[in-house]
Structure 1
């Protein structure tokens, strides 16, 4: 009995200790925006200028969520432009307006690399090229049209913005999309499925409503999901994946 209790304590501590640290750091950072109307949404300059970049581009971004949510996780989105296109199209899900009948899925021209309500994004995947990348963008549009939760949104455990981007990753595995462990909702499998390919397409995952699961993949490494929080080890390159904190180790 004591041995089992000790094991449970170790597992809980492994999840809660880094999460507690992340929450503490978030609270201590008093500079974060608190009013969505005045929070920064302008470009960070990460995306190449369409006027001087004729090739097709796909960028995947992650930024800390707004207000208290940022202590726990990130918001992810995809920005893409076809060859010769004058602007980027953003693929994302947002919850605002869903209760009033608006669509959760937003696919529209927009700032590709903007601050997410005051939080600077990180570029987590880039794909460039010609006709083959144009074809991937077309498949992203097709997958977005088929997303099964167009009129649903739940911050936890999903479906949310990260559920959507993970869904697109599975539909277009050529992106090799390795979402951050702080992308809460990425493990919520559509249709109540218990198993699916990993978002990167390089392995598989098991999940019980996004609350308990396991991912084994070349890109993601090994991840254990507990109540939407991810803890794991990336093997290439080596890194720890910690709840609330994210990836610690060699840069990808």
Structure 2
């Protein structure tokens, strides 16, 4: 009984209270009443393709709509080959054929929420990775009509996470607010990075943990994530995402923002 009470207290303090605070904060934010009234236009976050001749791979995210936005972002992928005149954007959505190409502007707002760049890889490295990313998109197992589950998945974040796991050289994890990123089919799933630098255990996407260079240390409960990023020091707080412990330097063309 004592263990049960301590477990409940732990879940309350680590997951329920932060998520409730985020819900309260989000409830007083101004936001559109429906997808019809939302702004889906280009945000200007990405450079104009004609002015940036380098190849590029972007992972992007923005808070999603309704009260879901208190706890989760929507994520997507943007690709551009060298000297290309435009971007190619790939999302998974909850209607029709779920995996979409260029259904929205590359850096379009999502339910009026301005996106941010989770990571950016440019130049020769991006050119090398683009075929791998395209192959990972094509191999996504939940790409048919009906292959969408809002919670615990497979949803938009499950799709992006699949690509990031498949193309290990992208070397990035989705934000802790990307609910659905830790979904794995089945009651129990275990997987790891090819070099064992990251390991993941999932119980139907409802609970689990991750540990490694990419994930740091994470506990997952009902799609929420709490933990510690060691490589780029930050706390991972349910609903609020990353809370930077101190500014961290990034190297080369790869950028990992603190949001």
Q: 1:177-208: CA deviations, max 9, x gaps?
A: 22111111111125666112369984110111
**1:88–1:247: structure 2 CA closer, same or farther, 3 Å change rule?**
same
Equivalent-residue separation in structure 1 for 2:8 and 2:195 (angstroms): 30
Equivalent-residue separation in structure 2 for 1:13 and 1:37 (angstroms): 37
Q: 1:68 maps to what in 2?
A: 67
Are 1:173 and 1:201, in contact at CA under 8 Å, matched by a contact in 2? Answer: no
* Structure 2 runs not aligned, ≥5 long: 248-257
Equivalent residue of 2:102, what SS? strand
Partner residue of 2:183 out of 181, 185, 188: 188
* Structure 1 runs not aligned, ≥5 long: none
Q: 1:248 maps to what in 2?
A: 243
Partner residue of 1:219 out of 214, 220, 223: 214
Q: How many residues are paired up?
A: 245
CA RMSD after TM alignment:
2.1
Are 1:59 and 1:127, in contact at CA under 8 Å, matched by a contact in 2? Answer: yes
| 1:149 and 2:142 matched | yes
Q: CA deviation at 1:158?
A: 0.2
Q: 2:228 maps to what in 1?
A: 233
Q: CA deviation at 1:68?
A: 1.6
Are 2:78 and 2:106, in contact at CA under 8 Å, matched by a contact in 1? Answer: yes
Are 2:40 and 2:104, in contact at CA under 8 Å, matched by a contact in 1? Answer: no
Q: CA deviation at 1:142?
A: 1.3
Q: 1:199-229: CA deviations, max 9, x gaps?
A: 9984110111111111002122100111111
Aligned ranges 1:113-132 → 2 under 5 Å: 113-130=107-124, 132=125
Equivalent residue of 1:179, what SS? coil
Equivalent residue of 2:121, what SS? strand
Q: 1:124-148: CA deviations, max 9, x gaps?
A: 1000013x42231111111111111
Equivalent-residue separation in structure 2 for 1:16 and 1:193 (angstroms): 24
Q: 1:140 maps to what in 2?
A: 133
Equivalent-residue separation in structure 2 for 1:155 and 1:199 (angstroms): 29
Are 1:173 and 1:200, in contact at CA under 8 Å, matched by a contact in 2? Answer: no
Partner residue of 1:167 out of 159, 162, 167: 162
**1:46–1:128: structure 2 CA closer, same or farther, 3 Å change rule?**
same
Are 1:185 and 1:228, in contact at CA under 8 Å, matched by a contact in 2? Answer: yes
Are 2:168 and 2:193, in contact at CA under 8 Å, matched by a contact in 1? Answer: no
